[in-house]
Amino acid sequence: MRLVPALLAPVLVLTLVPGQGSADIYVYKDRNGLTHYTNIKPRRGKYRRLYRTGPGKASRRRCKGCDVVPARDTSPARFTRYDKFIYGAARLYKIPVALIRAVIESESGYDPRVVSSTGAKGLMQLMPMTARKMGVTDVFDPRENIYGGTRYLRVLANTFNGNLVLTVAGYHAGPGAVARYKGVPPYLTTHKYVRVVIRRYYKYQKREAARRRARSGAGSGAAPTVVPPSRDVGE
């Protein structure tokens, strides 16, 4: 199976050319009949917009049932309480801060004590087997959970050649399901999850860009939205 590396060079164009980016998700087949999922609008050929996640009315509608679990910790401080761990994990595993934040918000609403009906636990809702594979001994410890969840994102990004859409889908449905269906699995909950996470990813990306500009005092561009290959982390 061959998957398009949709997050490498193409997404850099999004960050360097304002107004050219799209958070929508597209699917198309190439001349060899291979199906591709990407957040970059194809410039030619036939394609289909799988769903809209970007700016506009559709992105502002709350999707009932999109969040896996409701947050019990509703303090505004929770959104910055784990910054040290988020930035540390992002540096270690070379995963965008915006993606880590998007997953945490979608999975737990930044509540480290959440347990889902399926047994996923903590900020990044790690299943017991995944937690063990990622070296997490205490899933309710914010630092361990964030580092373990980010490491898992790194493994998925490596598996799917940096493709943002498939990495997020794999986090929700499992890499086996993505491989089996050669793309986003046909599960309603997974499609909702991918749509919500990617929309939030772009939201956090803009915030991170503003944060860097404020700290540097210069008009630097947004952070690369790539999930570059990093083969120093195994499963």
Residue 217 confidence (pLDDT) above 80:
no
Q: Report pLDDT for 47.
A: 67
Structure tokens at 73: 């910790």
Find the radius of gyration of the CA atoms of the chain: 17
Inter-residue contact 189 to 107 (CB < 8 Å): no
Cβ–Cβ under 8 Å, residues 52 and 58: yes
Whether the predicted pLDDT of 130 surpasses 60: yes
The mean pLDDT value of the chain amounts to 76
Q: What is the mean pLDDT of residues 62-84?
A: 68
The rounded distance, in Å, linking the Cα atoms of 133 and 113 is 20
Q: pLDDT band for position 112 (50/70/90)?
A: very high
Angle, helices 97-108/142-159, rounded to nearest 10 degrees: 110
Q: Confidence class of residue 23 from pLDDT cuts 50, 70 and 90? A: low
Separation CA 99–CA 224 (nearest Å) = 11
Note the pLDDT of residue 121: 94
Of 13-17, 57-61, 71-75, 184-188, the poorest mean pLDDT is in 13-17
Region 57-74: mean pLDDT is: 46
Between 186 and 7, the higher pLDDT residue:
186
Q: Where are the domains positioned within the chain?
A: 1-60+161-216, 78-159
Interval 203-221 mean pLDDT: 79
pLDDT score at 52: 59
Pair type for strands 25-29 and 48-51: antiparallel
Residue 54 confidence class, pLDDT cut points 50, 70, 90: very low
Looking at per-residue pLDDT, the higher value among 215 and 225 belongs to 215
Taking domain 78-159, whether its CATH number is 1.10.530.10 is answered by yes
Determine the average pLDDT of the residues in 172-197: 92
pTM of the model: 0.70
Lowest mean pLDDT among 39-43, 77-81, 127-131: 39-43
The residues carrying an active-site annotation are: 107
